[in-house]
Amino acid sequence: MDETQNLGDEMHAITAILAGDSQVFHRLIRPYERTVYVMVVAILHNEADAEDVTQEAFLKAFRNLKNFRGEAKFGTWLISIALNEAKSRLRQRKGVTMESLDESPDERGHIAPALVRDWREIPSEYIERQEVRSILQEAVVNLPLIYREVFLLRTIDELSGAEVAKALGITVALVKVRLHRARLLLQKRLAPQLKHIDRKQRWFPWL
């Protein structure tokens, strides 16, 4: 299905829901369940909280659907709601070690990547290994929040630079800068770790 048709279907679905056919909402949100959850869990670092906040975000979207004007794509609008819900949950966590939401890492300083002299490609199949999944998850969730949110919106939610800018209320140029820094930070952390992955280990040790 091409994107134009998809967007047309979504607007059609939204009209139907607003006219009273609530059940259509189930179908409307299916394509976004995973991406919204992943973004929320990467912000909150906690599965139970993330599930609750994701549910809240979808409920909020349902209740406020009449306010959706179609200026942004439905997916972008939905993600903005989820992002706000996740950040407000972070603020509510008092007494828990948390990063400041307003903390802004130095955005002009130079980030040097990990100086790997030779790189042997890690095949995607390695993600089947829990050890590799954990290393990748940890690296993403430990990015400073301002880089993490841009990285997730661009990479997991596959929003365009302009859509990310809109969802976060920042300029497209800043999206580019933050994405670049997120990527370099991931390389810096992950390249040395992944280089030492045991390539001889069987993926399924019980076989």
Partner 1 sequence: MVIECKHVWDQISGYLDGTLDPAMLAQVQKHLEHCELCSAILDSTRNILILTADKRVFELPLGFSKRLHARLDQEMQGTLIEPSGDP
Positions touching partner 1 (CB under 8 A) are: 22-23, 25-26, 33-34, 37-38, 41-42, 47, 51, 54-55, 58-59, 62-63, 110-119, 121-122, 124, 126-128, 132-133, 136-137, 139-140, 155-156, 176, 179-180, 183-184, 186-187, 190-191, 194
Shortest distance in whole angstroms from residue 168 CB to partner 1: 17
Distance CA 195, CA 162 (A): 35
> For residue 26, which of 35, 17, 37, 39 has the smallest C-alpha distance?
17
- Structure tokens of 25? 């909402």
Nearer to partner 1, 8 or 15 (CB): 15
Nearer to partner 1, 9 or 47 (CB): 47
Q: Within the chain, where are the H helices?
A: 3-18, 24-29, 33-44, 47-63, 74-92, 130-141, 145-155, 161-168, 172-195
Shortest distance in whole angstroms from residue 95 CB to partner 1: 26
- Structure tokens of 121? 């490609």
Nearer to partner 1, 70 or 119 (CB): 119
Nearer to partner 1, 71 or 118 (CB): 118
Shortest distance in whole angstroms from residue 68 CB to partner 1: 16
> For residue 158, which of 13, 32, 70 has the smallest C-alpha distance?
32
Shortest distance in whole angstroms from residue 76 CB to partner 1: 19
Shortest distance in whole angstroms from residue 19 CB to partner 1: 13
Phi, psi of 14 (to 5 degrees): -65, -40
Nearer to partner 1, 53 or 168 (CB): 53
> For residue 28, which of 41, 12, 39 has the smallest C-alpha distance?
12
